[in-house]
Amino acid sequence: MAGGSELLIEEGQGEVRLVRVQGNGCVVLKQGSGFRLTPEQAAFIRIDGQAYRGDVEVFVNPLGTAVVVNELPIEEYLKGVVPLELGPKLFPYAEALSTQAIAARTFAVVHLGTRAGRGFDLYGDTRSQVYGGVAAEDPLSDQAINKTRGLVSTYRGEPIVSLYSSTCGGVTEAFDLIFRGEPIDYLKGGVTCFDQDSQYYSWKETIDLDEIQESLNRYAGVGRLVRLLPIAYGRSERTVEMEFVGSAGTKMLKGNDIRFALGLRSNLITDMDAVEGSDGYLRQIRVEGRGWGHGVGLCQMGAVDLARKGRTYDEILRHYYPGTAIAKWY
Ligand SMILES: [Zn+2]
């Protein structure tokens, strides 16, 4: 395929998807079929106008979904991830960017092979890590990636679950209380963090419940809300269990589902007032809170603060993932 060619993906009916390669007419793919595109030397393949390093595979996976996979070495993938997860223009701190590079590399390594049935390893968005291809790349994050080439965070010799989020709001939280898995030794939470400079350190929101009824239905499914009762708190004082009482029943939500249901930036709620309508249903909630994201593991704004204070990437990683080491994985 010549450099500069365009690949345009169109959704079709049922299990068949249309894929058009500009200049080469139209290819119709059926389930189980596909093709691979390899760019000529030093050229990039463009998908919907965006340039990507490496090869592109297009196929219909066993689930009947049309999949476009950008296949490339981890180090090249990271060039399109690190600057979107921690912006080098806003945060030009080498040690913070190196910290982000190692966390993102570890995340990628851990997920290799985990979605074999779907035909790829990682999503290109927040379901895995945000990936923007060539357009996202920045010399400062490239430097951080090159300097830490092959390095991952490990615990007892294995790459860790390197969760990270924007702003923990002062203290990190335990993995099992937010993600509801088994407890993880290096993700117990309670790590002190100085992220007051983050614009999301503290926030105030007035939420009209009419506007979030869809997410309430998806996560709670109790109809119109009558009452919200915080039940349990984590080490960072995040609300980790909350009872949702509604017109159609009562449901206990745990961990991340609480903030997803209410459309909040984080579970670290410091104050909440509910406004009741004349019909007895809640009309509005006024919430004050701290942080943005799940607050488990590495805090990106805290890493920026530590880097600014002269701490190195290994010190920062071991601060947020206590008991871990850094190892050369390849
Ligand atoms: Zn923090």
71, 92, 120 - which closes a domain: 71
CA distance 317 to 99: 6
pLDDT digits (tens, 9 = 90+) for 182-228: 999 999 999 999 999 999 999 999 999 999 999 999 999 999 999 99
Kindly write down the DSSP assignment for every residue of 56-117, as one continuous string: EEEEE-TTS-EEEEEE--HHHHHHTTHHHHS-TTT---HHHHHHHHHHHHHHHHHHTTTTGG
Taking each helix axis from N to C end, the angle separating 313-320 and 94-111, rounded to the nearest 10 degrees, works out to: 60
Residues 197 and 224 in one domain: no
Q: How far is the CA of 303 from the centre of ligand 1 (A)?
A: 8
Q: How far is the CA of 214 from the centre of ligand 1 (A)?
A: 30
Residues 306 and 235 in one domain: no
Q: How far is the CA of 134 from the centre of ligand 1 (A)?
A: 29
71, 100, 115 - which closes a domain: 71
The answer, yes or no, to whether residue 31 has pLDDT greater than 80, is no
pTM over 0.85: yes
Least confident of 66-75, 94-103, 159-168, 239-248: 66-75
Bridge partners (DSSP) listed for residue 328: 151
The answer, yes or no, to whether residue 159 has pLDDT greater than 50, is yes
pLDDT digits (tens, 9 = 90+) for 48-77: 778 999 998 888 887 777 788 999 999 999
At 36 the pLDDT is 87
Residues 259 and 221 in one domain: yes
How far is C-alpha 210 from the geometric centre of its chain's CA atoms?
Answer: 27
Q: How far is the CA of 299 from the centre of ligand 1 (A)?
A: 4
Q: How far is the CA of 294 from the centre of ligand 1 (A)?
A: 11
Residues 16 and 162 in one domain: no
Q: How far is the CA of 98 from the centre of ligand 1 (A)?
A: 17
The answer, yes or no, to whether residue 16 has pLDDT greater than 50, is no
Residues 167 and 300 in one domain: yes
Number of domains in the chain: 3
Q: How far is the CA of 86 from the centre of ligand 1 (A)?
A: 14
At 150 the pLDDT is 98
Residues 183 and 317 in one domain: yes
Q: How far is the CA of 31 from the centre of ligand 1 (A)?
A: 45
Q: How far is the CA of 198 from the centre of ligand 1 (A)?
A: 9
| Percent of the chain whose pLDDT exceeds 70 | 90
Q: How far is the CA of 152 from the centre of ligand 1 (A)?
A: 21
Q: How confident is the model at residue 12 (pLDDT cuts 50, 70, 90)?
A: very low
Residues 57 and 100 in one domain: no
At 62 the pLDDT is 78
Residues 270 and 124 in one domain: no
Q: How far is the CA of 297 from the centre of ligand 1 (A)?
A: 9
Q: Are 323 and 185 within 8 A, CB to CB? A: yes
Least confident of 22-26, 90-94, 242-246: 22-26
Bridge partners (DSSP) listed for residue 205: 287
Amino acid symbol at 190: G
71, 98, 115 - which closes a domain: 71
Which domain, by its residues, includes 226? 202-290
Q: How far is the CA of 206 from the centre of ligand 1 (A)?
A: 24
Q: Which residue has the tokens 């092959």?
A: 150
Region 258-268: mean pLDDT is: 97
Please give the C-alpha separations between residue 177 and each of 163, 187, 268, in angstroms, as whole numbers: 14, 10, 12
Residues 259 and 305 in one domain: no
Q: How far is the CA of 79 from the centre of ligand 1 (A)?
A: 24
The answer, yes or no, to whether residue 25 has pLDDT greater than 60, is no
Q: How far is the CA of 245 from the centre of ligand 1 (A)?
A: 32
Residues 83 and 222 in one domain: no
Q: How far is the CA of 306 from the centre of ligand 1 (A)?
A: 10
Residues 60 and 148 in one domain: no
Residues 310 and 285 in one domain: no
Q: How far is the CA of 106 from the centre of ligand 1 (A)?
A: 20
